Every structure is written in C-alpha cells, then in structure tokens.
Amino acid sequence: MATSALDQQRAHAAAGHGEQTGLWSWLTTVDHKRIGILYGATAFAFFLLGGIEALLLRIQLGTPDNTFLAPDTFNQLFTMHGTTMIFLAIMPLSAMFFNFMIPLQIGARDVAFPRLNAFSYWVFLAGGLLLNSSFLFGLAPDQGWYGYANLTSRQYSPGMNVDFWLLGLQILGIASLAAAVNFFVTILNMRAPGMKLMRMPMFVWMSFITQVLLLLAFPVITVALILLMFDRFFGTNFFVPSGGGDPLLWQHLFWVFGHPEVYILVLPAFGIISEVLPVFSRKPLFGYAAMVFSGVFIAFLGFGVWSHHMFTTGMGPIADTFFALTTMLIAVPTGVKVFNWLGTVWGGSIQYRTPMYFALGFIAMFVIGGLSGVMHSSPPADLQQNDSYFIVAHFHYVLFGGSIFGLTAGAYYWWPKMSGRMLNETLGKVHFWLMLIGFNLTFFPMHILGLNGMPRRVYTYPAGLGFETLNQLETVGAFILALSFLVFLINIFRTARGPHNAPADPWNGATLEWAIPSPPQEWNFAEVPVVHGRDALWEAKRERGGPLPEPPRVSGKGIHLPNPSYWPLVSGIGVLTTVGGVLAFPHFGPWVSMAGAAILFLGVFGWAFEPAG
Amino acid sequence: MLLRTASIRRVRRLAPLFCAIALVLAGCSPDHYAQTALRPISDFGRIGDDIQTTTLKWAIVVFVLVEGALLYAIFRFRGKPTDPEPSQVHGNTTIEIVWTVIPALILAAIAVPTVRGIFQTNITPAADALEVQVIGHQWWWEFRYPTLNLTTANELHIPVGQTVSLKMGTVDVVHSFWPPRFAGKRDLFPNRETRLWFKAEEAGEYPGQCAEFCGIQHARMAFRVRAQSPEEFQAWAAHMQSLRANPAAAVAAPKDSVQTVSAGATVQAQAAGPDDPQYAAGEKLFQAKGCVACHSLNAFDAPKGMIGPNLANVGDRSYIGAGTLKNTDENLARWIENPQLIKQGVLMPNLGVTPEDAKALVAYLRAHQ
C-alpha cells in the first residue's frame, strides 16, 4: 500500500498517543466525529435500501397491469420507501454533517453533551432496525408514510404492520429530539471566542434553524403517535369515527409536524450549498444577513402552511385562502436564497471540482421543485394536482433535487476532511452526470403523468389511459440513477484502499474545519481558535498573504476530553426493548417493556454516576 | 471563428439530450390521456385550469430567467486556480430588495385569481342542481340520487348542462373522488359530509378514480362518469326507476348512443331474456350462492348499507370490479369464479362457483341492464 508523507505523520502521531481502534471503541465512543461517521454509514446503508425499494416499485410500474409485485407487497414497499428515505436516510445523513462539522466549524472540541450524542445515534439505529425488522415477518408497514386515519385503525389495519411503523417512528423521534437539544445547546454555547452568531458559517446557521424546527415539530408527531397507539392497543377512539373520533384530526396533527419536516430535510442542504458555492467561486456568500433571515423566515412560516396538504378535504374558503397565501409567501424567502446563491457565483472564479457540480445541480433542480410548489399553493389548481404524480414529481425535485444533491455536494466537499482521502474527480463527475440525467428521466415525466390523471400510491394502472410510455421511461431513469450511486460506491471503495492523501485544506476553504489536519485529531483543535470575522480561514490566509502551512499532528497531552462510555448504548437498548415490547401487547409484551424500562433505568443511572474522567 | 465551432460542437454534444426532450414532449399532449386534468369540460374544472395555466406561465418565465442566469454564470465565470482572486462582493442592498419585491409581485398576480377561484369553487350550487350522494366503499363507489330514489354503482350518470351537486361520505376509510375531466378531488370522510359540484359540458364516458390511499386495492377503485344529453338521462332514469323489487313496470333499456372515450370500453354482449334456461339457473344461483346478501338488484328504492355494489344495471356497465376488468362475458365469469385472484383482498370471497355456474350467473347478470 502506498504511503504518503501525511500517512507517515499520521502513523507517528497515532503511535504516540494510542488512538482507539476496534469494535469496542466504536460501541463506546462519544467523539462527535466517530458518531458522525456512524450516522453516515448507517444512513447511507438505509439510503441504498430505500433505493432498492424504489427500484422494485419502478419495475412494477414500468408496464401496465403488471404483476411483478403483489398489491400488498407494493403497498409495503412504497410505505417503507418514503419512511426510510425521510427518517432513516435524509435526516440522519444531515445528522452526519451536524455531528462531524458543527463542532469543527464553530471551533469546538466536541458537542455540549457527548454521551447524549452517542445515545441519539444508538436510539436512531434501534428505530431503524425495529422498522425494518418488520420485513422479516412479512409485516412491513403498508399504510403510507403519512399514515392517514382511519385506515390505520385496528378495524381496517388489523395486522402488526402499522404497529411497527408507529413504534419505530416513536423511537426515531426520541433520537431526533435528543440530538436537537444537543446541537441547539452546542451552537449556542460552544462557539470559539469571537465567533458571534452573525459570524457563524451558513451551514451552522441552517443547522441551528433545523434544530429549532425539530424541537417544535417532533413533539406534535409524538403526541399523534401516542394517540394512535392508544387507539390501536388500548381501545381509545381519538381517530375512530364509530366512537366519535375524527380522522381529520390526524391529518392536522400529522401536517403540523409534516410540513416543518420538509424544511428539516432541506435546510441542512441549503447550508451545505451555502458553504460549497463561495469556496469554489472564491468569493464570499452573497447577502449573508439576507440568507440568515430568509432561513429564519422560512422556518417560521413553515409552521403556518400545514393545511395546504389538505385542500382537498374541503376546509372552506377562509381556511383555503389563509393557507394558500401563507404558502405563496414562503416562496419569497426561498427565492431570496436562490438569487443569493446566483449572486455568489456571479463574478466569481468558478473552480469546477465535483462538489461544485453537485451544488450547481442543486440550484438547477431545486428551482424546478420550488416552482411546482408555487403551482399547488393555489387550491383550485391543487384539487387536480394533489395526490397525483405531479406531487410525486414536485417533492422529489425538492428532496432529491434539493436535499440529496445538496448532501452529495457535502459528501464530496467534506470527504477529504472526514476520511483523510481525496475522492477521484473523474468518477465524481461521472456520478454527477449519471445522477442528473437519471434523476430528470425518472422524475420529470411524473409532472406530465400527474396532470394527465395518474394518481399516487397505485400498485398498477390499466393499459389505455396513456400512462405506459412515460412510466417505462421513468423506470429506465431510475436504473440510471441507481447506477450513479454505484459509481459513488466504487469511488469510495477505491480511495479507501489508497493513501491518506488529503491535505488539511484541499479546496482553499473559508471555514475553521480546514485549519486542522484531515482527518482531524480526536480533540479537533490543539489550540482553540480565536475568530475575528466571517470566513475566518480566508481572513487568516489573506493576513498571511498565502496558504497556511500544513498543520502538524500533535500530542493531545493535557487536553481534556470526555471518557468513552457504554451507558448510552445500554440506555438505547433499554429504549428499544421498552418500546418494542408494546408490539407483543397484550401477550408477553408488558413483561418485555418492563425489562426494557429496567435496562433504561440502569443505563441512565450508570450514566449519571459515571466519573467524568 | 474558433469560438463558433466550439459552441457548435457543444450543441452537438447535447443532441441526445434534445432527442430525449423531444420524446418527452411527444408524450405531453393531454389528448393522449383519457383521464387528463388538462382538458376540463365543466365550469368547475375550468376555474382551476385557468389558474393553473396562469401559474404555469409565470413558472416558466421564472424558470427560464433563473436557469438562464445560472447557465450563463456557469460558462461565463469559469476560472482557473491560478487566476487572481475575484472581487470580494458581500452583497448589494438595492439588488437584494429588487429580487425580494419582484417575486412578491408575481405571487400577488397569482394570489388574486386564486382567492377569486377559492370563493367561486366554494359556492353552494343553485336549488335546481341534481343532487347525488357519493358513498365510498373499500373499493367501489356507490351513487344515490335521492330526488329520483335511484341507486347505482361505479358508473355515475349525469345530464349535460345541469349542475350536479355531489354530497359525499364514506362507510369505511377516507377516500377521494376524482373525476379529472370535470373537477379536482374531494375527500370523503366518515361522519362528515363533503361537497363538490360541476356542470358537464360534453356528453361522453370519462374515467375517474379514487385518489386517497384506502387500502390494498386503492389502485382498483375507479369509476366512470357517463355524461348524457338531458333526454337520454331522463330515459335512463325512467328505466332505472322500473328496476325494482316488483318488476311489473319494466321500462325498456334505452339504446345507448354514448361514445366511449377509451376505445372498446363499451362491450355489452347480447343479453339473454328471462325465458332462457341459463337465466333461470343464474337467478337460482344468485340466491343459493348468497350473492343477494351483499348485492341488490333494485335500482329504485334500493336498500342502504349493502356491502357490495348495486347490480341493477350491471349488464350495461363498461367495467366490473370498479374499473378492474372490461365488462365482457368472459371477464365477468372469471370475476365470479375467483374474485380474489383478480382483485386480491376484495371483500367478495371466492364462493366456489364452477365454470358452469358462472356461465348461468353471467347470463342472469347480463340481462340486468
């Protein structure tokens, strides 16, 4: 194996201070960077799983009246595809960057609550495993990721499918809330001296707003899921019409959570793009303050638009008008963001490296998703668009064209920092072009199909309605899209065998993470930096009149770091067992839950009385 | 000159892309789609369509400007690592105000017709409207005409030129009624009446389907709208009113002159009469196999709360199984023999009907037109 000077230096530093390796070190780690890698690896595995589910769906829909998948299998797969991509792929992929990058970008040595951070990861993993374990029993959730009542009632969904879904989501909610508290506090309290709020990198700003959204939105879905759990297990009637309940209540609760959730999924990508575009344009972000406040405004308005998912329920003219206008209003700050990104690129000296390809692709694709969003802000038009493939096209342009393009830009951008290795540029660009072409072939025709009468969530469609050709094209596109991620995997595995060849600052970065070795040492900053303005590293380089010398790997003697701990893992197992026991209610389930509660108590007890180090 | 050939080469390189776009555009024409929402033939449908067209125009303008600016920047500001640092612009208040205000104005241009459209679509239809109750079932549609005391299933007959006022509900889970040529969707809730209205402008048979996921056979919960001239509708209603428990006053089925939209949808075979032995055998089987427990054969004064669709005019329908199969004798027989094979999870169980029995039942049902 080839070794570079960086490799030798790294080996030398590791030998000096006994860097932890091995399985046990990963199970007990409280290092935000390792937890970030755990989040990323797990979420990427779920992303591939969700992608395979999508390919199966696309094969089924490639031809009319197809019998490739049975109806119930199709319904399980589309439910799990949506649930997986939202809760197990995009959110935790963002969490990977929160974990790895927020402390580095704000000049901190770790997050505010390192053990809580580990706990978040283990609980997230538990939720993902519980949800997907349903496949082993052939009982995967089959009611859609939005789980509309009263289809989810025991009467109409007697199987355990819905139980897996609601308990899995409940566990994932615990993970998200714990992480949100952690990053909220980290960003507010752990910034390096001189890093005022209005000097924070834009990724940190957008992440901060995301944590606020998580803190306010997730309690709503938690409550809704508890009500549903009571309906299904204990015979209450919150959403059961025969008992006086109202299915419409579920829709309101779900979308009060669900719409902010959309911004939870896309704001981190906004942040990543706002890091990548300036660096590769060699020009600061255009309109920093406007970018901050438009993000805040989007988040605020995000809580006032939920019923635009419900125009077809017939809410009456006053409610329709209110939600139509707030929805249109949200396009203004979103437009400001797009224009500011253009303003950032404009007049720059654009360096065409792979992260920049994906960032520019993000703008091009996200604009399409934004514009179709404006199209269904108008209720009379939305009555036709809602629940048709037009909506499927819209939110894939936002969540794939937006979130996934943005996260992929972030992956290529920060890969050298996280792994210490440069990804291959040619493969990266092949990945980009295949993804752009595959993405548009898959999702653009859905606009046309939706407006021409193809509804969502159908396991098949009859021949003769005209849907055949474009569906076939979409299926071809989906495989090209899958191929693009195969290229990405090849790129990752090829470079993983290569030397540690990434310098500290491969892109001429503007922010603090590029001031320290790649990958960073456990303590991040040997010396806590002092910040004098925005784009702190650019400032430092300008002052010096050229690039900074490669930072040496140093001994971390005397730097206080939290001790590894297995209590977060124990507590996570406790949460999984407690909630998982509900599945077996009323048989042996309560006993499992009680055992789980005991484990959780033990975990928290051990955690609380663990010596700090 | 050099620049020119370079740009031509660049265009050539994009040729496959243009081909792909042309292919997609070829599939664009709404006339290609029987269930399109882009060819409204009702007053209600037109309101939404007009707004959608307005919004789409603005969307295309913004799309071209933004993507154009992006492409321009991508080619114009290509830099090399050795290039000098570009001018470090941090923002420009004037420009930022301009690009905040202009989108707001465009949105106002969309908001005004939107609010007007919201109030137009929410009016209560006039008293002379034909009221129809739409009742959602897993996975079929019940249509009741209270003023005519008629009930039918999966095919909604309406008169052209008269507003129909739909009052909707469901006996089980949430559904959504979507007749794209006439109107957008409206959801159906248990214990909650929702409404929709429209005035059909063209006679014909048009497909529609459920648009809210409602369980395993959501995909197979389609319906047809048969818009008829007022005279034809009257004749149909009079005929249907004669289909009652005591069929003494049977009125001859009207000749159906309706042109079907999707080719080959109307496929009625020659029906057997009550004197036919097959018919008599079928009539017996309809009782013996318990079909009557779920299906009524009375269109007039039909019982409420039946589990299966009303079959009073099943012989006349274009499709069976709520849009699952074309209504041919072979398909109807297949359906009766093994509904679970054709529509897995449908509430109709396999009743152990032999092919022989099925033939008799088909003859019997075919006569119900």
pLDDT in tens, A426-467: 999 999 999 999 999 999 999 999 999 999 999 999 999 999
Q: How far is Cα B225 from Cα B160, in angstroms, rounded to an integer?
A: 11
Q: How far is CA A210 from the centre of its chain?
A: 11
| Closest chain A residue to B221, measured at CA | A458
Instruction: Choose among A314, A328, A339: nearest Cβ to B194.
Output: A314
Q: Is the pLDDT of residue A11 over 70?
A: no
Please judge whether A371 and B48 are an interchain contact, meaning their C-beta atoms are less than 8 angstroms apart: no
Answer for the pair A358, A273: CB distance below 8 angstroms, yes or no.
no
Alpha helix ranges (H) inside A18-68: 23-27, 32-61
Both tokens of B118, joined, read: 């919201």
Class of residue A13 by CB neighbours under 10 A (exposed 0-12, middle 13-18, buried 19+): middle
Q: Which of A285, A296, A298, A297 is nearest to A341 (CA)?
A: A285
CB atoms within 10 A of CB A189: 10
A-to-B residue pairs, Cβ atoms closer than 8 angstroms:
300
Both tokens of A107, joined, read: 């000049």
Question: pLDDT for B5-40, tens place per residue?
Answer: 656 666 667 777 777 676 666 667 888 899 999 999
pLDDT of residue B8: 64
Please judge whether B70 and A345 are an interchain contact, meaning their C-beta atoms are less than 8 angstroms apart: yes
pLDDT of residue B253: 56
Q: How far is Cα A340 from Cα A286, in angstroms, rounded to an integer?
A: 5
Q: Phi, psi (5° rounding) for residue B161?
A: 85, -5
Q: Is the pLDDT of residue A8 over 80?
A: no
Confidence of residue B266 (pLDDT cuts 50, 70, 90): very low
Which range has the top average pLDDT, A522-531, B153-162, B272-281? Answer: B153-162
| Closest chain A residue to B341, measured at CA | A70
Please judge whether A312 and B103 are an interchain contact, meaning their C-beta atoms are less than 8 angstroms apart: no
Chain B residues within an 8 Å CB radius of A443: none
Q: Is the pLDDT of residue A2 over 80?
A: no
Q: Is the pLDDT of residue B136 over 60?
A: yes
pLDDT of residue B262: 41
DSSP string, B136-190: EETTEEEEEETTTTEEEESEEEEETTSEEEEEEEESSS-EEEE-TTT---EEEBT
- Mind telling me how many Å the CA of B59 is from chain A's nearest CA? 6
Instruction: Choose among A247, A379, A445: nearest Cβ to B174.
Output: A247
Chain A residues within an 8 Å CB radius of B320: none
Answer for the pair A316, B197: CB distance below 8 angstroms, yes or no.
no
Please judge whether B219 and A144 are an interchain contact, meaning their C-beta atoms are less than 8 angstroms apart: no
- Mind telling me how many Å the CA of B296 is from chain A's nearest CA? 24
Chain A residues within an 8 Å CB radius of B183: 383
Both tokens of A425, joined, read: 């540029």
Torsion of CA A554, A555, A557, A560, to 10 degrees: 60
Confidence of residue B1 (pLDDT cuts 50, 70, 90): very low
Please judge whether A313 and B36 are an interchain contact, meaning their C-beta atoms are less than 8 angstroms apart: no
- Mind telling me how many Å the CA of A383 is from chain B's nearest CA? 4
Q: Is the pLDDT of residue B185 over 70?
A: yes
Running DSSP on this structure, what letter comes out for residue A64? T
- Mind telling me how many Å the CA of A151 is from chain B's nearest CA? 5
Question: pLDDT for A85-126, tens place per residue?
Answer: 999 999 999 999 999 999 999 999 999 999 999 999 999 999
Provide mean pLDDT across the span A170-178: 97
Which residues are within 8 A (CB) of A338 and not within 5 positions of it... i.e. 6 or more apart?
Answer: A363, A366, A367, A370, B66
pLDDT of residue B3: 52
Q: Phi, psi (5° rounding) for residue A420?
A: 80, 10
Q: Which of B222, B168, B166 is nearest to B343 (CA)?
A: B222
Q: How far is Cα A148 from Cα A126, in angstroms, rounded to an integer?
A: 24
- Mind telling me how many Å the CA of A14 is from chain B's nearest CA? 34
Mean pLDDT for chain B overall: 89
Chain A residues within an 8 Å CB radius of B210: 455
Q: To probe the interface with A, which of B39, B75, B174, B214 has the most A CB atoms within 10 Å?
A: B174
DSSP string, B332-355: HHHHHH-HHHHSTT-SSPP----H
Q: Is the pLDDT of residue B2 over 80?
A: no
Provide mean pLDDT across the span A364-385: 96
Confidence of residue B265 (pLDDT cuts 50, 70, 90): very low
Q: How far is CA B226 from the centre of its chain?
A: 12
Please judge whether A284 and B85 are an interchain contact, meaning their C-beta atoms are less than 8 angstroms apart: no
pLDDT of residue B250: 54
Q: Which of A231, A226, A229 is nearest to A155 (CA)?
A: A231
The ipTM of this complex is 0.93
Q: To probe the interface with B, which of A69, A349, A429, A437 has the most B CB atoms within 10 Å?
A: A349
Chain B residues within an 8 Å CB radius of A290: 91, 96
* Residue boundaries of the structural domains of chain A: 33-562, 569-606
Chain A residues within an 8 Å CB radius of B112: none
- Mind telling me how many Å the CA of A270 is from chain B's nearest CA? 17
pLDDT of residue B277: 87
Answer for the pair A90, A407: CB distance below 8 angstroms, yes or no.
yes
Matching residue, tokens 């088909």 = B362
Q: How far is Cα B256 from Cα B266, in angstroms, rounded to an integer?
A: 10
| Closest chain A residue to B82, measured at CA | A349
Please judge whether A384 and B74 are an interchain contact, meaning their C-beta atoms are less than 8 angstroms apart: no
Confidence of residue A15 (pLDDT cuts 50, 70, 90): very low
Answer for the pair A81, A50: CB distance below 8 angstroms, yes or no.
yes
Q: How far is Cα A577 from Cα A571, in angstroms, rounded to an integer?
A: 10
Provide mean pLDDT across the span B316-340: 95
Kind of pairing, strands B163-170 and B130-137? Answer: parallel
Q: To probe the interface with B, which of A67, A384, A476 has the most B CB atoms within 10 Å?
A: A384
Please judge whether B173 and A151 are an interchain contact, meaning their C-beta atoms are less than 8 angstroms apart: yes
pLDDT of residue B261: 40
Percent of chain A with pLDDT over 70: 96
Provide mean pLDDT across the span B114-140: 95
Candidate CATH numbers 3.40.50.720, 3.40.50.2000, 2.30.30.190, 1.20.210.10; the one for domain A33-562: 1.20.210.10
Chain B residues within an 8 Å CB radius of A460: 219
Please judge whether A150 and B79 are an interchain contact, meaning their C-beta atoms are less than 8 angstroms apart: no
Running DSSP on this structure, what letter comes out for residue A148? -
pLDDT of residue A88: 98
- Which residues on neighbouring strands pair with residue A138, listed in sequence order? none
- The separation between the first and the last C-alpha atoms of chain A, rounded to the nearest angstrom, is 38
pLDDT of residue A557: 80
Q: To probe the interface with A, which of B23, B32, B95, B187 has the most A CB atoms within 10 Å?
A: B187
Q: Which of A226, A111, A131, A260 is nearest to A178 (CA)?
A: A111
Mean pLDDT for chain A overall: 94
Q: Is the pLDDT of residue A545 over 50?
A: yes
Please judge whether B89 and A448 are an interchain contact, meaning their C-beta atoms are less than 8 angstroms apart: no
Question: pLDDT for A228-284, tens place per residue?
Answer: 999 999 999 999 999 999 999 999 999 999 999 999 999 999 999 999 999 999 999
Quote the crossing angle between the two packed helices A317-329 and B93-121, to the nearest 10°: 160
Counting Cα atoms < 13 Å in the Cβ hemisphere of B42 gives: 28
Provide mean pLDDT across the span B104-126: 95
Percent of chain A with pLDDT over 90: 92
pLDDT of residue B15: 73
Handedness of CA B321, B324, B326, B330 (dihedral sign): negative
The residue with greater pLDDT, A212 or B262, is A212
DSSP string, A230-251: HHHHH---SS-GGGT--HHHHH
Q: Phi, psi (5° rounding) for residue A456?
A: -75, 170
- CA distances (Å), B364 to each of A89, B275, B281, B287, in order? 56, 11, 8, 12
Please judge whether A282 and B90 are an interchain contact, meaning their C-beta atoms are less than 8 angstroms apart: no
Provide mean pLDDT across the span B103-108: 95
Chain A residues within an 8 Å CB radius of B25: none
Q: Is the pLDDT of residue A12 over 80?
A: no
